[in-house]
Amino acid sequence: LRRYIVAEAVYQNSGQMKAIHLVYLGTPAVV
């Protein structure tokens, strides 16, 4: 659940690409 929340936060902050990256890697991507 945490990863999903982080992904959503990133999605609203930057874009869906980063969110997907987070879900795939499971770690905070800064790229």
pLDDT confidence of residue 6 = 72
pLDDT band at 19; cut points 50, 70, 90: low
Q: How far is CA 22 from the centre of its chain?
A: 4
**pLDDT at residue 10 greater than cutoff 60:** yes
Residue 31 has pLDDT above 60, yes or no: no
What DSSP line would sit under 3-27, residue for residue? HHHHHHHHHHHT-HHHHHHHHHHSS
The residue with tokens 């869906």 is 16
Q: The whole model's pTM is what?
A: 0.28
pLDDT at 15 over 60: no
Q: Average pLDDT of the chain?
A: 61
Backbone angles phi, psi at 27, to 5 degrees: -140, 155
